Structure 1
Amino acid sequence: NYIVGAGQVNGEVIETLWARLNEISVSCQGMGNGHRTETLDIHMLNSNWEKLLGIGNF
């Protein structure tokens, strides 16, 4: 580490997000751009909400 006391991260957060998006990828294939964007946005908002609810469960 270059900064004393700095935390370390695993750097693989984006991979966990892609894994969750794979669940809806087939559904999004036939959608137009607007509907696809809205569906992905709603899915990610739900993912963030679930993470927020689980923050204290460590």
Structure 2
Amino acid sequence: MFSWAFLFLIIAIVAGILGLSGIAGAATNIAWVLFVVGIILAIIFAVVGRKPPL
């Protein structure tokens, strides 16, 4: 999840440098959403953890 967020962040930076503000804004928003979802999933999995088999 974080690798996808990082990829879209790089796309946003490159698009911003090239002056493609629409693509840069969209890629930034996608990167932010993926990052937040990744953080939420990491917290959930850390709290739930692995349970031993019954």
TM-score (norm 1): 0.49
Which of 17, 35, 39 is the aligned partner of 1:51? 39
Aligned CA RMSD, in angstroms, stands at 2.0
Structure 2 alignment gaps of length 5 or more: 1-5, 48-54
TM-score (norm 2): 0.52
Matched with 1:33 is 21
Query: Structure 1 residues 33, 42: closer, same or farther in 2, change over 3 A?
Result: same
Higher helix share: 2
Q: How many residues align?
A: 36
The list of structure 1 runs, each at least 4 consecutive aligned residues, that deviate by more than 6 angstroms after superposition, is none
- Identify the structure with bigger relative contact order (alpha carbons < 8 Å, sequence gap 6+): 2
Identical columns (%): 14
